[in-house]
Structure 1
Amino acid sequence: MQNLPHRRYGDAGLQAALPQAASHSQVPSSQIAPVSFKPIDSTETVSSETWINSTHTSSDDALTASFIVRDVQARLSGRVPGPEWSAHGMTSSGWDILRRLLKDSVNHDKLRYDYFPGTQTFVHRMPSHTHDLACNGFAQIVLRELTWICHGAPEKQQFLRNAFLCCRGNGFYGLVIEVAYAQKSKQLEKLAQFYLFDAHLNTQKVVGIAIDYDRSKRVTLHTWQRDNSNAATSGRIQHYSQEVRTETGARVSGPPLQISVFDIAPPSLVPSSLHGVTIPISLEGLCDDIELGEDATTQRERYALEKARRFQTLGGLDCNDCDSSEEGENETNAGTRRVDEDYVLSRAGLESPESGLPNSNL
């Protein structure tokens, strides 16, 4: 989205389980933050006021950027546990410095981050398989159904498999998919408002999948779209929500979510034979993908504990040689383009739509 956050994708897999701690509650004492540095509670990322004060200088930007890079590297290495959504205050001038430092870092291909210019906030994301598989699973269902209903039509190859689902004929028009972190779930409606009315992308519908990470097994499906029933309601949003799984993990049966072909492509690019066609999204299939991600996340946590035990058994010797690549093998399997409130997309070669560069075919 234009005037959006600046996102880099180096995938950590489809994103999960957020502790509720602030971004730097467990920073080692050896990492001393600059005076102007102020961690931001991740629940305030979208709505918080600008944190920069009148005493801020350009030298503070460099110090803060260096500190954030060290913190990001520590989080990637596992030395600093913390939430998957780690937010820091950062000026726009500091963001220019930080972006250069991140691009020069050895782990740049594994990074996923956003910059929100509206609130001057940098966010480092370390999503789990639960989050990523939920988002990818939804996109795959849409793609599979599109392939089926478009079978034999020349237009069937126009649809891109992204978390902003669109067609090649119009990369600004489409459907947004948001899978909510625990902290982020309260912001879903604000994100939907932004996508539908404030972003430069011509978003037709926002689908939100709220997963109650670390607190319960509840999963809720939301959709938002403009109320176009008449001119008086054109600035309003129609909201629909449906419980998919209860707090105890019991699946809730219900009708599939219906996605119109016009939510993804404008009528001018859709063959007349497909006008009025909808894509059913099975709640059972969505739950399957979420639970697959939860199982993968649990396995990774067990692996991390076992790795820590081996490390202690070996007396602190480095035991990474035999499995140094294992962590990264599954870190780049999501293949989705995401758009969040007030950011500018910059994922691995993808630039924001205003750059004029074509979308990648993932």
Structure 2
Amino acid sequence: MSSAEAKYIKSQKWPPTFSKKVDMRKVNIEIMKQWITGKVSDLLKADDDVLIELIFGMLESETFPDPKKLQWSLTGFLEQDTAAFCSELWELMIDAQSQPQGVPKRLIEAKKEEMRKEKEETERLAKQQREARRQEEEKERNSSSSSSSTTSTTSTSTSPPPPPPPSSRPQKTYYTLFPNTLPHGTPPSAPFTIPLRALRSEFLTLQQRTHPDLFPPPQRKSAELASAQLNTAYTTLRDPLLRAGYLLTLRGHQDPSHDETARLDDPALMMEVLEAQEELESATGEDVVADIMHRAQARVNTSLETLESLFARDDVVGVREEVMRLRYWRGVVDAAHRWEAGAQVVLEH
């Protein structure tokens, strides 16, 4: 312990809860990580992976972590919010270690309250829909009655009822799982580019709400499925290549980013990619590799700009071709990241 740390610890008036030990073996650390991530993001109004990983490391490195040392380490990051954050975190973990699942009772109760409100909202909407259907049926009956009074009684044929209108309910996609970040849905109604920081923040919030351990046993299986779908959606949307391929599948096309047989009739591109591969294989130092990576990344960026334009024009054929170009240049960038002197260079497309 440094003299500055010792002086800080001695100068503070610590809450009584800090005298209680927390056995991290009894705490569901994954639930706490989600709470920590969300809380830190709320306090800083942004994501800070370095700080979050620092907190995780301090909690996981010891069986019985010291809350006073934790507060000292976080003061430079959270400033005036440090004490309140550490106090709340410690209270939650004290509670967590006494619970069978290692989850703080407060978080469980908050989840139950959220589920109760969701149920009430669902019932309210269902009631509104039933009332709307009743009014529509009554309107149709009145209209039918009025129409029949003006129809000749000698007519024996009747016209078939008109087909029901197509459902106006929006298609459920990965985009609809993130209504705050992606309120306008898929391109061309919205840009292809996604605000990744906002997406990650909403993902972490949703992940915290849907963690299976927060649900009672009868609902845990469905919660696991919902959580898995959320993870898949986030993984897909945060990656431009996967996102573009996914959008193609929504249009009924095969995703070329996962189709090993998909080929692009562009000899010039193939020559450039092969030349990049040869340059990597003959590279003698990291400076050469960095230059190759820089050029390939520039092509990736150009491809992303092209995709933005193609999606805005709803040019599905053009999107499919550009996805394959992006796949090739991403392969070069990834190969440069994996480069080792003398090792064979394999481009994964």
Q: Compare the two structures and name the one with the higher helix fraction.
A: 2
Structure with higher Rg: it is 2
Same fold (TM over 0.5): no
TM-score (norm 1): 0.23
Report the TM-score when normalising by structure 2. 0.24
Q: Which has the higher contact order (CA 8 A, sep 6+)?
A: 1
